[in-house]
Structure 1
Amino acid sequence: MFRWVAALLVLVGLAMPLSAEDHGRTIEYERIAAAGLPDQRLTIWLPPGYDAATERYPVLYMHDGHNLFDPAKSNFNKVWAADKAMLAAMASGAVEPHIIIGIWAPGPDRYRQYLPRSAYDTAPVAVRAQMDAAAGGAVVSDRYLAWITGPLKSWVDASFRTRTGRDDTAIVGSSMGGLMSCYAFLEAPEVFGKAGCVSSHWPAVDPRAVEGEDSGVRQLWDAWFAARLGAPDGRRVWLDHGTATLDQYYAPYQKVVDARFAAAGWQKGRDWESRVYEGAEHEENAWAARLPEIFGWLLRK
């Protein structure tokens, strides 16, 4: 059951202080075998004082882990600066220190690993054909979610001092990772009590190819949320988008999703939040700029 754990533990974990001060440290694990998935990779951030402490910590899982901390390892030489955002949220006094589990995207397999399988299965035929072309292989987000909630979470909880319950477990991602975070939240509500769906790529394919209601994509997301959202039950979701570059296409979809949250009895500002950032582009610097605000709302005590 945990063959991959044994492989993980023999890997060299590189513990790297983020500065001379205690700003936390990162540990990397490479080439993690996961059944039915491309090899996975992790960058884990431990908050300041973790090594000298005895208490347990809530956990934040984040997609696109290569773009979270170190520009030299990122796709575009820019990052979310998730460590700095967490430190800022902690300094406000509203957020407890969290362990961050950064899960790297598997290169060209990213799209098929992040596209929600249950949405793909119910997509209009023409849209699904476009998804197939973009995926270049089987959609495996269901396997990815099963790996996160099963072997990965079991190993994290056994290896680090975590608080394991739903209310202490969050998941955050952007673009296709935003869709994946909503998918994880809706399909595994017993595991994730909080989700951040940042600049979620609601069109799922080239947005120019599915503009307008007649494509069925807006209806797809409305029905998808309607079937899975349920009552808040103490859970919390953050949604947002900018208005420039790829984000300029997201407003019509976000309005549909927002309406579904309201119809399901979720109270905006308490259970769910939806923000629009004027002029913000679809890129890491824009997400880094608002990440302290996201953490402050989503992860607040």
Structure 2
Amino acid sequence: MARLLTLLMAVLALAVSPAMAQDQGRTIEYERVPAAGLPDQRLSIWLPPGYDAGGQRYPVLYMHDGHNLFDVKKSNFNKIWAADTAMLAAVASGKVEPHIIIGIWAPGPDRHRQYLPRSLYDLTSGNLRAQMDGMTAGGVISQHYLAWIAGPLKNWVDASFRTRPGRDDTAIVGSSMGGLMSCYAFLEQPQVFGRAGCVSSHWPAVDPRAIDAAQLQGLWDGWFAARLGAPDGRRVWMDHGTATLDAFYAPYQQVVDARMVAQGWQKGRDFESRVYEGAEHEENAWAARLSEIFGWLLAKRD
């Protein structure tokens, strides 16, 4: 009898343990979401392990290019950020609380005009404006995208899921043009987004070889100067690699870093700016450092 009971317990353990060990959270898909002034949007929402069984409320992370976050089959280049895995790793470190992740898909050919910060575009002229216009057929719509995220989308998320809706529990992260969009949200809606991750931000905004880099660096400096304000408990992560498209970013990032410091932001506390030697401008490179990004950006407050 004892041997039979032991065997039965072993069988039950084999049946239950894998499921428990593989609890990686779950993803919900919303394939068509109307948004005023925008193409229809699409969402992939990741709920952390234990969400369905508990009653706790969670901070929320909004991420651009949602099709490249979780599922290789849905990705553009057969590469993903593995944002759920990175979140689980950050949580396991003890530094980060689990977050709900709202992955917002990029709308195909409208991606560039949806992510290019409108208030920066409005400062441009001459060749730089012409280059941007060539990349944004139909006109820049990032102002509508930001208004939708900070308003109707966030309101729906907070009403539909157990969130902590305050500024300090709301983050936004993206890469490349999505990095610019995350900075745009952070600076234009500081009452909504307390944390931002601007990963391999495409500071040139267009082909970096086709513009006056010094002119655009000056525009970014003025843009940050006019909007940054005091840290007030906010936090922003910025980074870039040194290969492929990222090889153009260092001079821009240095200007932005200097502006942050000039306005009282302390590196390592209020903002982070890191260089990843040899890292390319692509999803595998971003995935490789995403748990590190989350570990700093989303860390529990002291």
Paired AA for residue 260 in structure 1: R
The offset of 1:209, in angstroms, is: 1.0
- The secondary structure found in structure 2 opposite 1:170 is strand
Mapping 1:224-243, distance limit 5 Å: 224-243=223-242
Q: Which residue of 1 aligns with 2:258?
A: 259
Please report how far the alpha carbon of residue 125 of structure 1 lies from its aligned counterpart in structure 2 after TM superposition: 2.4
Is this contact kept in 1: 2:69–2:82, CA < 8 A? Answer: yes
**For each residue in 1:184-230, what CA deviation from the matched residue of structure 2 results, as whole angstroms up to 9, or x when unmatched?**
000000000000000000001101112542xx100010000000000
Correspondence for 1:300: 299
Amino acid in the other structure paired with 2:110: D
Aligned residues: 282
CA offsets 1:131-165 (integer angstroms, 9 cap, x no match): 00011111000000000011100000000000000
Deviations 1:66-85 (A, max 9, x none): 00000010000000000000
Cα distance in 2, alignment partners of residues 19 and 244 from structure 1: 40
Partner of 1:174: 175
SS in 2 for 1:293: helix
- Superposition map of 1:60-139 within 5 A: 60-139=61-140
- In structure 2, the residue matched to 1:147 is 148
- State the shift of 1:124 in Å: 3.0
Q: Aligned-pair distance for 1:20?
A: 7.1
Normalized against structure 1, the TM-score is what? Answer: 0.92
Q: What is the aligned partner in structure 1 of residue 57 from structure 2?
A: 56
**Other-structure match for 1:39:** 40
Note the alpha carbon deviations across 1:102-147, whole angstroms, 9 max, x for none: 0000000000000000000001322011100011111000000000
Secondary structure (helix, strand or coil) at the match of 1:223 reads helix
Matched, 1:30 2:26: no
- Cα separation, 2, equivalents of 1:284 and 1:40: 21
Whole-Å Cα distance in 2 between the matches of residues 45 and 94 of structure 1?
20
- Larger deviation, residues 157-166 vs 203-212: 203-212
Cα distance in 2 between the residues matched to 1:123 and 1:295: 33
Using the TM superposition, give the Cα deviation of residue 250 of structure 1 relative to its aligned residue in structure 2, in angstroms.
Answer: 0.2
Aligned mates of 1:294, 1:153 — CA distance in 2: 23
Structure 2 distance, partners of 1:19, 1:80, is 24
**Of the two, which has the highest radius of gyration?**
2
Structure 2 gaps, min length 5: 1-18
The separation in 2 between residues aligned to 1:186 and 1:124, in whole angstroms, is 22
Secondary structure in 2 aligned to 1:109? Answer: helix
Deviation per residue, 1:6-46 (Å, 9 max, x gap): xxxxxxxxxxxx99721100000011111110010000000
Alignment-mate amino acid for residue 283 of structure 1: E
Show the 5 A alignment for 1:150-229. Answer: 150-210=151-211, 212-213=213-214, 216-229=215-228
Q: Secondary structure at the match of 2:186?
A: helix
Equivalent residue number for residue 7 of structure 2: none
Q: TM-score, normalised by structure 2?
A: 0.92
Measure the CA separation in 2 of the matches of 1:51 and 1:212.
50
> What residue number does 2:276 align with?
277
SS at structure 2 position matched to 1:237: strand
DSSP-derived class of the 1:55 partner: coil
Q: Percent identity?
A: 80
How far has the Cα of 1:88 moved from its partner?
0.1
Code of the aligned partner of 1:228: R
* Gapped regions of structure 1 (runs ≥ 5): 1-17
**Helix, strand or coil at the partner of 1:42:** strand
Runs of 4+ in structure 1 off by over 6 angstroms are: none
- RMSD across aligned C-alpha pairs, in angstroms? 1.1
1:95 shift after superposition:
0.1
Return the alpha-carbon distance in structure 1 between the equivalents of residues 211 and 260 of structure 2.
23
